[in-house]
Amino acid sequence: MPIPPSTAFSISVGTTKTASPPSLQSLRALDWFVFFVADIQAGFGSFVAAFLTTKQWSQTDIGIALTSGSLIALAFQTPAGALVDAVPAKRLLAFVGVVGISIAALILGMWPTFFTVVSAEILHAVATCIAGPATIAISLGLSGYAGFSRRLARNVSFAALGNAIAALCMGLIGYYLGIEKIFYLTAALGVFAILALFMIRAHEIDPFSARGGAPKPKQTFREAMGELIKNKRLIIFAAAIILFQFGNASMLTFMASAFAFHSPESSTLFVAAAILGPQLIASAVSPWFGRKADEWGRKNLLILAFAPLPIRGFLLAITSDPYLVSLIQLLDGISAALLGILVPLVIADVTKGSGHFNLAQGFVATAVGIGAALSTTIFGYLIDNFGYVFVFVALAAIGLLGVSLVAAVMPETRSLPSPHPEVS
């Protein structure tokens, strides 16, 4: 992709005036930025668990290392959201996040000791806390509310495609060259993400849309949080996300560990396949879900997003065949596509006009962090003591509870009418 001189190596500090309509260059640059960020994120999670298992780490130690990052994310997500609201330079924040993720990958590959792995997980968590909401803020700032669901669907499609391609490449690299080489590739891909980011024209990002409305004068962080906590729809949604993440966060991670335990030489290939399939499904179906989010409403699609989790858990409990498990994981593509669209879309619904869209993103991401932190530590301990079958049944039961909560309590947040200009 050629980079115009005017946008190649500068990062605007933002402006308070109304943004220009988004150009095709900015919209397509955002596509590729999302794609490459997904590439570099694919090097974490399951590949880390498989890598550490080959280094003779116990599942408890792996759980502790992964949880260290989750706990930092738990503490930093909400302040990071407030930071994204406050700083007009959304591209600068996204840049800082990508650089941090890339450095964390290098640390993992070069120094896989307990202290350095924990440090890398912490750095990755902080960088992701910044990059994630900054990317969504850029998306809302470019598309506006009317085009947000389709913009999110496009983000999910490119992210899923990036994850799928990266997982395949990383699986092959891990198999033929050594699993630690995965983390070197992850760091290298960060360069391409930065190049795409600099092609997004900063003046086209509407600063008010990017934060969910005009900022309230002299409102403190505590006052803003108090406003969010009183938002009943946001609290119910956050509770549902905690349950889903508690059941989902460790499912693929411990499935990867089971592969590495039984077949260490080919584990990276099966992990890649388990990631690749769902991402291809998510990439294919997300544009359709983006259109249906306004037609069917958010609640119906949330139920559909939560439903595959208990099914996956029960099926993983009764089979360890890697080929069947790879097929079972295709169900995760449905959840990934829907939640990638619905989480920021519901947050935008319930915070519109508040000026705290990104703070609310951080608040809900904290809920995700709570679920992930509890999941990896608790279920890592349970696997060491009770085995994989017990844990997968427990994860399925938690998934059923999450579906029940959404069906019984979660309100519909869609605003009617919902116009949809072709901004994607």
**What sign results for the dihedral spanned by CA atoms 222, 227, 230, 234?**
negative
Segment 51-73 shows an average pLDDT of 75
Alpha-carbon gap, residue 328 to 332, rounded angstroms: 8
CATH superfamily of this structure's domain 23-213+229-409: MFS general substrate transporter like domains (1.20.1250.20)
Give the pLDDT confidence score for residue 261 in this predicted structure. Answer: 59
Give the pLDDT confidence score for residue 424 in this predicted structure. Answer: 43
Torsion angle, alpha carbons of 280, 286, 287, 288, to 10? 110
pLDDT at 406 over 60: yes
Q: Which of 104, 110, 108, 95 is nearest to 124 (CA)?
A: 104
Angle between helices 251-262 and 308-318 (to 10 degrees): 20
Segment 98-123 shows an average pLDDT of 86
> Cβ contacts of residue 34 below 8 Å, gap of 6+?
135, 155, 158, 159, 162
Segment 62-72 shows an average pLDDT of 77
Segment 165-192 shows an average pLDDT of 80
Residue ranges of alpha helices (H) inside 249-356 are 251-262, 267-296, 298-306, 308-318, 322-328, 331-351
Inter-residue contact 289 to 338 (CB < 8 Å): yes
pLDDT at 126 over 80: yes
Give the pLDDT confidence score for residue 138 in this predicted structure. Answer: 95
Segment 125-143 shows an average pLDDT of 92
Give the pLDDT confidence score for residue 325 in this predicted structure. Answer: 74
Band of the pLDDT at 285, cuts 50, 70, 90?
Answer: confident
Alpha-carbon gap, residue 19 to 135, rounded angstroms: 17
Alpha-carbon gap, residue 323 to 330, rounded angstroms: 12
Band of the pLDDT at 412, cuts 50, 70, 90?
Answer: confident
**pLDDT tens for each residue of 310-324:** 988 888 888 767 677
Question: Residue written as tokens 């406003």?
Answer: 227
**pLDDT tens for each residue of 240-283:** 998 898 888 777 776 766 666 555 555 566 666 676 777 778 88
Band of the pLDDT at 145, cuts 50, 70, 90?
Answer: confident
Give the pLDDT confidence score for residue 297 in this predicted structure. Answer: 84
pLDDT at 67 over 50: yes
Domain spans of the chain? 23-213+229-409
Alpha-carbon gap, residue 262 to 253, rounded angstroms: 15
Segment 53-69 shows an average pLDDT of 74
Residue ranges of alpha helices (H) inside 178-220 are 181-198
Alpha-carbon gap, residue 424 to 422, rounded angstroms: 6
pLDDT at 84 over 50: yes
Lowest mean pLDDT, pick from 59-63, 69-73, 243-247, 303-307 = 59-63
First and final C-alpha spacing in the chain: 19
Give the pLDDT confidence score for residue 416 in this predicted structure. Answer: 46
Band of the pLDDT at 192, cuts 50, 70, 90?
Answer: very high
Alpha-carbon gap, residue 156 to 328, rounded angstroms: 21
Locate 37 and state its tokens. 């960020």
pLDDT at 49 over 60: yes
Q: Pick the more confident residue, 199 or 171.
A: 199
Give the type of residue at 62.
I
Segment 211-236 shows an average pLDDT of 85
> CB-hemisphere CA count at 13 Å for 85?
29
Specify the pTM. Answer: 0.78
Give the pLDDT confidence score for residue 333 in this predicted structure. Answer: 83
Rg (C-alpha) for the chain, rounded Å, is 20
Q: Pick the more confident residue, 365 or 377.
A: 365
Alpha-carbon gap, residue 224 to 73, rounded angstroms: 20
pLDDT at 11 over 50: no
Give the pLDDT confidence score for residue 264 in this predicted structure. Answer: 57
Q: Is 144 left (phi over 0), alpha (psi -120 to 50) or beta?
A: left
Band of the pLDDT at 287, cuts 50, 70, 90?
Answer: confident
Give the type of residue at 198.
F
